[in-house]
Structure 1
Amino acid sequence: MFIAMALAPLLVTLDSWDGWKAIAASQGWEWAAVEKGLCEDAGVKELEALVYARRDIDSERVYLAGRGDAAPCVFYAVSRMPHLWAAAVAVEGNPRRAIETNRLFSANLQMTPVLWMVGPDPERRRIPGVTETADMSAENLVRFLSKARRAAFPLKVDYETGSLNFLRCFWVEIAKPDPVRRNDALPVTRVAPGSGAYLSLGGFGYDPKKEGPGAEVV
């Protein structure tokens, strides 16, 4: 009698923090860490190759996660290839790096559940398609990821690419792209650089409640 073995989910992380290994082990998940070229098209293609090469995992339960400096690349990778992931989590970090690629599309982000674990900031503008939470516990992260399964054939695919490197999403593939022609019929969902989506996030950011350089003009 042949008994089929259940395939394990795969947790792909964009940093090699040991905590990811512990989380994956506690859930019986496989774990793979990738740390180079993460906010670039070539890096996303490497993630695609990694996922497709793993025949020992459940392709409907491939999760993406990253923390700190790698967090913005979670948004970027999901925006580029939403069909790879069942769900994704970004822990803290700053989305500016992803936004400034000019290839962060909120329509794409809405096709995959994305959770941003980040402290509350009333000045921060929300990224459409991304759910925020201040609960940064491992339990909350696992709960969010484990309930998600990738829909191989969703009823609706709303996908923007802006690049000839990414012409396929779920069951939709652009066969004959014409870069000369423009789409004037549908609204563009690109999160524009400098739009304020990453206001007051620290470091490079601007907080209107804090004193700035220079002299006050009265």
Structure 2
Amino acid sequence: MIGIIRYGAGNIFSLTATLERLGIPYGMINTEADFELYDRYIIPGVGHAGAAMDKLVNTGLVPAIKALNKPTLGICVGMQLLTSYSEEGNADLLDLFPVKTLKFPQTANFKVPHTGWNQVFAEKENPLFKSIPLGSHFYFVHSYFIEYDPLYTLSSTSYINKFSASIWHDNFYGVQFHPEKSGIHGETLLKNFSKI
């Protein structure tokens, strides 16, 4: 059963609607004691990484999150929170991955935020991408990206520059795209996560 970490910065409705449609059981985590009720976790997130980190700190859940040893998935800003630092708000984050979240450079040929469908290419074998063809399209909405590091990059894509579409280290996973808005491949990814 999935526990969704509730801290006031997540687009929870579209995620829970998708989990319900897929028949994946879930509940909400509001206190440290709630972690014991679940066997995997999702950190959702939309908006500003610095503000999201402030909200997460205010919940008092940061030490518990950093100590988790069960599968944990950060989505969009939830993924960025797993990194060490974000240029958005000049913020120190959870530092579970020693990489940074950076702002896309301004360019005449590309709009920021990056909004739309991009091909994603898995770079490592992992059950999160089981039965998802190489180069499948996923839906992105973001102005900041996680710097590419082959040590932690599970899949990559390119927009202005190459960056990590998803990351993985031990029990922690992150996806920059929104699986709950990415059609069948996003649904497959969420089903895969529910079985990791």
Q: Give 1 or 2 for the bigger CA radius of gyration.
A: 1
What range is the shorter-chain TM-score in?
0.3 to 0.5
Higher RCO (CA < 8 A, seq sep 6+): 2
**Richer in strand (by share):** 2
Question: Given the two structures, how large is their TM-score scaled by the length of structure 2?
Answer: 0.40
Question: Given the two structures, how large is their TM-score scaled by the length of structure 1?
Answer: 0.37
